[in-house]
């Protein structure tokens, strides 16, 4: 189980959010971003479109780093199991920079490569979404799967689950 922190934009529409059904899970902590929220994410894995590909080795933490990560992860209310935590930014693409302004330190930026596309039927009248962009729940599931935590229950309430999983088969 990869401990996961989800930083959510305050304007995120919860009625449309693919992560909202997961709110009560103990392996996920949701933090609503405000101008007062500042999080040290040094050592966290941060999903980013323009970064090296995520691999199982990214979850590994050395002894020295484990102590510092334990404090950060526990401070956020997540269980620490010796694996590197995942940070997911939950926002529309055009407002993502506002979430990044809440971050301090040096995260490990990784992408979800492999030609997987979203099954979510996105339609933005304001800005164009990146072709490699996934719905938040798709990114969460795929990232944790790549890190060795294949947990299909993350997609249990996702309407487009079958179409998304068909790409991974």
Q: How much of the chain, in percent, has pLDDT values that exceed 90?
A: 27
Q: What is the pTM of this model?
A: 0.84
Contact between 140 and 45 (Cβ < 8 Å): no
Judge whether residue 167 has pLDDT over 60.
yes
Exposed, middle or buried, 66 (CB in 10 Å: 0-12/13-18/19+)?
middle
Break the chain into its structural domains and give their ranges. 4-168
pLDDT grade, residue 1 (50/70/90)?
confident
φ/ψ (deg, to 5) at 146 = -65, -25
Contacts of 72 (CB under 8 A, 6+ apart): 40, 41, 42, 43, 44, 85
Q: What is the pLDDT of residues 105-154, one digit of tens each?
A: 999 999 986 677 665 655 555 555 555 568 889 999 999 999 999 999 99
What pLDDT score was predicted for residue 131?
A: 53
């Amino acid at each position: 189980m990869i401990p996961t922190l989800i930083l959510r934009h305050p304007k995120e529409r919860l009625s449309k959010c693919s992560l909202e059904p997961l709110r009560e899970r103990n392996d996920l902590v949701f933090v609503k971003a405000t101008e007062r929220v500042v999080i040290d994410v040094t050592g966290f894995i941060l999903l980013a479109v323009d970064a090296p590909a995520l691999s199982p080795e990214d979850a590994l933490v050395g002894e020295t780093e484990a102590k510092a990560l334990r404090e950060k992860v526990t401070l956020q209310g997540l269980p620490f199991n010796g694996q590197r935590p995942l940070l997911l930014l939950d926002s529309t693409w055009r407002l993502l920079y506002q979430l990044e302004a809440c971050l301090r330190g040096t995260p490990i930026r990784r992408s979800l490569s492999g030609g997987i596309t979203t099954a979510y039927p996105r339609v933005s009248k304001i800005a164009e979404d990146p072709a490699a962009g996934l719905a938040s729940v798709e990114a969460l599931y795929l990232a944790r799967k790549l890190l060795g935590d294949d947990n299909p229950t993350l997609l249990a309430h996702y309407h487009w689950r079958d179409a998304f999983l068909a790409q991974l088969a």
